[in-house]
Structure 1
Amino acid sequence: MTQRGYEFYDNQQTFDNYIERRSWNDNVNDTIEKPIVMEMIGNVGMKHICDLGCGTGSFGNELLDLGASSYIGIEGSQNMVARSKQVLNRSNSKVIHTAMEDWMNPTNTYDLVISRLALHYIEDLDALFGKVFASLCSGGSFVFSVEHPVMTSSFGMTRQEGLKQDWIVDGYFDTGVRKQEWLGGIALKFHRTVEDYYVALQGAGFVVGSLRESKPRRVQFANEEAFLRRMRIPLFLFLEGNKN
Structure 2
Amino acid sequence: MRNHGTDFYDNDANFEKYMQRRQWQENANDTLEKPVIMELLGDISDRHILDLGCGDAGFGVELLKKGCAAYVGIEGSRKMTDASTSNLTAYNNGTVLHMRMEEYTYPRDTYNVVISRLAIHYLQHIESVFRGIHQTLKPGGKFIFSIEHPVITSTLQPSGIRTNWVVDNYFIEGYREQQWLGGTVHKYHRTVEDYFMALTGAGFRVASLRESRPVREHFLTEETYERRRRIPLFLFLEGVKNG
Q: How far 1:5 moved relative to its partner?
A: 1.1
Separation in 2, partners of 1:15, 1:132: 28
Q: How far 1:175 moved relative to its partner?
A: 0.3
Separation in 2, partners of 1:145, 1:206: 16
AA matched with 1:46:
D
Separation in 1, partners of 2:5, 2:115: 17
Deviations 1:75-109 (A, max 9, x none): 00001011112212210000000011111111110
**Stretches (4+) displaced over 3 A:** none
Separation in 1, partners of 2:212, 2:161: 19
Deviations 1:35-58 (A, max 9, x none): 000000111010000000000001
Q: Structure 2 matches for 1:204-215, cutoff 5 A?
A: 204-215=202-213
1:15 aligns with 2:19: no
Q: How far 1:154 moved relative to its partner?
A: 2.0
Contact 1:154 1:167 survives alignment (8 Å) = no
AA matched with 2:10:
D
Separation in 1, partners of 2:206, 2:13: 39
Query: Which residue does 2:219 correspond to in 1?
Result: 221
Q: TM-score, normalised by structure 2?
A: 0.97
Query: Which residue does 1:142 correspond to in 2?
Result: 143
| Identical amino acids, percent of aligned pairs | 51
Q: How far 1:2 moved relative to its partner?
A: 2.4
Query: Which residue does 2:106 correspond to in 1?
Result: 105
Query: Which residue does 2:177 correspond to in 1?
Result: 179
Deviations 1:131-184 (A, max 9, x none): 10000001100000000000101214x47xx52211211100000010011111
Which runs of no fewer than 5 residues in structure 2 stay unpaired? none
Separation in 1, partners of 2:39, 2:204: 20
Q: How far 1:3 moved relative to its partner?
A: 1.3
Which runs of no fewer than 5 residues in structure 1 stay unpaired? none
How many residue pairs are counted as aligned between the two chains?
Answer: 241
Q: TM-score, normalised by structure 1?
A: 0.97
AA matched with 2:139:
S
Query: Which residue does 2:231 correspond to in 1?
Result: 233
